[in-house]
Amino acid sequence: MHAAGACAWGLSSAADTSTTDLALLDRWLDSGRHASMDYMRRNRGLFATPSAMLEGVKTIISAAFAYRPADQSDRHPLFADYARGADYHKALRRRLKPAATALQEMFPQSRTRICVDSAPVREKYFAIRCGIAAPLRNGLVAVPGAGSKVFLAEILWTEETAIPATEPIPSPCGACRRCQQACPGGAICGDGSVDARRCLSYLTIEHDGDLPEDIPYGRRVFGCDICQDVCPLNSGACATPLEEFRLSPALAATDIESLVALDSQGHAALFAGSAAKRAPLERLRRNISRIANRPADPEGDGGPQKCGF
Ligand code: SF4
Ligand code: SF4
């Protein structure tokens, strides 16, 4: 897995019956903090059933890939770090394919499925369970040495294998509240979940319609990195060694003026192969219109995170 570029990887049994994270998911859904992400409620049952993703699955291989920029020159002032390069869904699938193929060649009767944030898999739970990541107050996980700017992906496998005894890494947050204090929307609930209705990541990327007026959006067009940028676990964490997650030249050459001038063809061309294509042109225009006439924000950039439980 390290050959695939993963900064950490580990094994879990798909038969794991813990439901601690599912209780948090239920509270998150019941309180409406998922906002318009109804697919989370619809898929609630599937999160508890790995076999719904791959019949006969026995083993879950979790992998983490760092995407932290090396410095400011590898960031974009308007886009979250995770969206500044290639679309991680495709890039990680490509990176994990040789490992999945090798497993099937070693065990020809077995089957695999690669999941990259596209199927209802408890990716954070299994990354914590197999000992490669620790849960954080801001709803993300941190990998020792790599911090929280990591993508998670899984290979589901129908073969049973020896699972090394690992103790989950406890949350390193302790008394720290930096992310909660810095979050512009007050979205970090404190129980490891985020209220999407107040989170700039959800609001700028997933939300249709008007934006809440009482949140300082700064110059964020796509996503938000604030709660990660203030996190001490990320200072000194390793930068991504993966070329495809560096700032793309096309995005580097993009500014507010060129975004304002985008038509649908330009939008499709600029974001082809990028995770930022998740926000359709109309949503981007809405976000841009908030800031097109604002002076540069001294606090700077937009940052990422996936909203959730
Ligand atoms: S991504 Fe931004 S808005 Fe969302 S929880 Fe983090 S700091 Fe708050
Ligand atoms: S800023 Fe502090 S409380 Fe928030 S995730 Fe980082 S260590 Fe935890």
pLDDT (tens digit, 9 = 90+) per residue, 59-109? 999 999 999 999 999 999 999 999 999 999 999 999 999 999 999 999 999
pLDDT in tens, 245-277: 999 999 999 999 999 999 999 999 999 999 999
From the CA of 237, how far away is ligand 2's center (Å)?
Answer: 14
pTM beyond 0.95: no
Q: For the chain, percent helix, then strand, then coil, each to nearest 5? A: 35, 10, 50
Ligand 2 contacts CB of residue 284 (under 6 A): no
pLDDT digits (tens, 9 = 90+) for 176-188: 999 999 999 999 9
Mutate to test the pocket of ligand 1, among 140, 149, 180, 199 (most ligand atoms within 8 A of CB): 199
Q: Mean per-residue pLDDT for 212-228?
A: 94
Ligand 1 geometric centre to CA of 164 (Å): 35
Most confident of 3-7, 228-232, 278-282: 228-232
pLDDT at 92: 98
68, 138, 143, 229, best to mutate for ligand 2 pocket (most atoms within 8 Å of CB): 138
CA of 227 to the centre of ligand 1 (A): 5
Q: Which residues contact 31 (CB under 8 A, 6 or more apart)?
A: none
Question: Is 121's C-beta closer than 6 angstroms to any atom of ligand 1?
Answer: no
Q: Which alpha helices (H) appear in the chain, and where do they start and end?
A: 20-30, 38-42, 44-47, 88-106, 123-129, 178-182, 200-205, 226-229, 249-252, 256-260, 264-271, 281-291
pLDDT in tens, 3-43: 899 999 999 999 987 888 899 999 999 999 999 999 999 99
302 pLDDT above the threshold of 70: no
